[in-house]
Amino acid sequence: MKPLTVKDNVYSVGAIDWDRRLFDALIPLPDGTSYNAYFVDGGDKTALIDTVDPTMTGVLIKQLKDLPPVDYIICHHVEQDHSGAIPDILSIYPKAEVLCSKTAKGLIIEHLHVDESDIRVVEDGEKLKLDRYTLEFIYAPWVHWPETMVTYVPENKTLFSCDFFGSHIATGELYVTDWERCYEPAKRYYAEIMMPFAKIIGNNLEKLEPYEIDTICPSHGPAYPEPGMIMDAYRDWALSEPKNVVVIPYISMHGSTDAMVKHLTSALVERGVGVEVFDISVTDLGKIAIALVDAATVVIGTPTVLGGPHPLAVYAAFIAAALRPKARFASIIGSYGWGGKTVEVLSGIIGKLKAELITPVLIKGKPRPEDFKALDELADSILKKHKDNGYL
């Protein structure tokens, strides 16, 4: 593929990974992804903004071949999907200098074994003046690691944001043309990568407010020709109050927990509470993560197996807690055969959610009328909590 022109003298030189289906050996990528890198021809000097995943180094090198030599390699973020090709680029352009944040320097040395003498730390707010363009480096920690920074180019009002505002989607489109289509991949990306840092994202959004931004070029997914679409979405996802929604990830072995989930779901719907139900055994984890962005309440449904929650329920609860969604309430429902410590084990995990635990409904065997009544009461409690907090 040849470099595509993003703006005058600015080219997209990254790689589209159409086939990748798993990221971090954990995150499903139903739509593939891309590792965007940008080449800024500043006239007197050039800058390569981020590189690509090491598996795609050849794609980057091929695109750089017809462009002037690289003088600066801007390393926004040391995770290898963006930094992994730096050693190869340095071996082709040995005079190039890697520019990065203070925190990134040590990480680059540790993760990529780049020689310290090839790295120069730039300060937060430092400007690198090229003939045609100015590159302003803005520290933006925790989007997605502590060392992350972004680069703003005032001459073309473009923000190169790396993971921030990214989306896991493989597309031949340089710019978002169909926001409806790109919304879910962007929200999925936020949910899986950014949600644990929602509060800090608020700080970073605020930090960007003084900048006049016409275009956002992230390092995953297409660029945004109207930054408002993604910035407003981030404000909603990260900063708004939870919505009147209950997320129920569940698994059932012999149908009892399934019957309980179905009853609770109907009871909530009848009360005007939104519900998103996911059978963990077949659900793409990303779908649960997306639902968790807005949910006010999480209810885990699990049978008891080997004396505790089903391992897949443990997995879902662990992921939900690690993603730190803004859910304010949580509960547990399920059926056991003879006993066990399902509630103790699960509440220990979801305790990290910092959500209030509403009394769980754990029953022995197949649900009876009194068990359904207990689920109705759980639905009543959830409704009341949502109402009292203004989610309904």
Query: Does residue 151 sit in helix, strand or coil?
Result: strand
For residue 144, the minimal CB distance to ligand FEO (Å) is 4
Phi-psi region of 78 (alpha: psi -120 to 50; beta: other; left: phi over 0): alpha
| Residue 250 contacts residue 300 (beta carbons within 8 Å) | yes
Of the candidates 17, 31, 41, 81, which one interacts with ligand FEO according to CB under 6 A?
Answer: 81
For residue 281, the minimal CB distance to ligand FEO (Å) is 29
Interacting span for ligand FEO (CB under 6 A) from 73-81, 121-129, 206-214, 383-391:
73-81
Of the candidates 7, 45, 82, 187, which one interacts with ligand FEO according to CB under 6 A?
Answer: 82
What is the per-residue binding string for ligand FEO in 200-239, x denoting contact by CB under 6 A? Answer: -------------------xx-------------------
The β-bridge relationship of strands 243-250 and 274-279 is parallel
Query: Does residue 26 sit in helix, strand or coil?
Result: coil
For residue 211, the minimal CB distance to ligand FEO (Å) is 22
Question: Does 263 contact ligand FEO by CB under 6 A?
Answer: no
- 79 or 294: CB nearest ligand FEO: 79
The β-bridge relationship of strands 134-139 and 127-129 is antiparallel
For residue 168, the minimal CB distance to ligand FEO (Å) is 9
Query: Which ranges constitute the DSSP H helices of 114-197?
Result: 179-189
Identify which of 25, 79, 27, 24 has the alpha carbon closest to the alpha carbon of residue 50.
79
Q: In this structure, which amino acid lies at residue 199?
A: K
What is the per-residue binding string for ligand FEO in 158-197, x denoting contact by CB under 6 A? Answer: -----x----------------------------------
- 169 or 267: CB nearest ligand FEO: 169
How many other C-beta atoms lie within 10 A of the C-beta of residue 322? 13
Of the candidates 17, 41, 50, 79, which one interacts with ligand FEO according to CB under 6 A?
Answer: 79
Q: Which residue is nearest to ligand FEO (CB)?
A: 79
Q: How far apart are the first and last CA of the chain?
A: 51
The residue written with tokens 């275009």 in the block is: 215
The token duo for 2 is 């040849």
Query: Does residue 73 sit in helix, strand or coil?
Result: strand
Of the candidates 144, 328, 385, 386, which one interacts with ligand FEO according to CB under 6 A?
Answer: 144
Count residues near ligand FEO (CB under 6 A). Answer: 8
| Residue 76 contacts residue 82 (beta carbons within 8 Å) | yes
Please give the Cα distance from 388 to 392 (Å, whole number). 8
Of the candidates 77, 105, 187, 386, which one interacts with ligand FEO according to CB under 6 A?
Answer: 77
List residues near ligand FEO by CB under 6 A: 77, 79, 81-82, 144, 163, 219-220
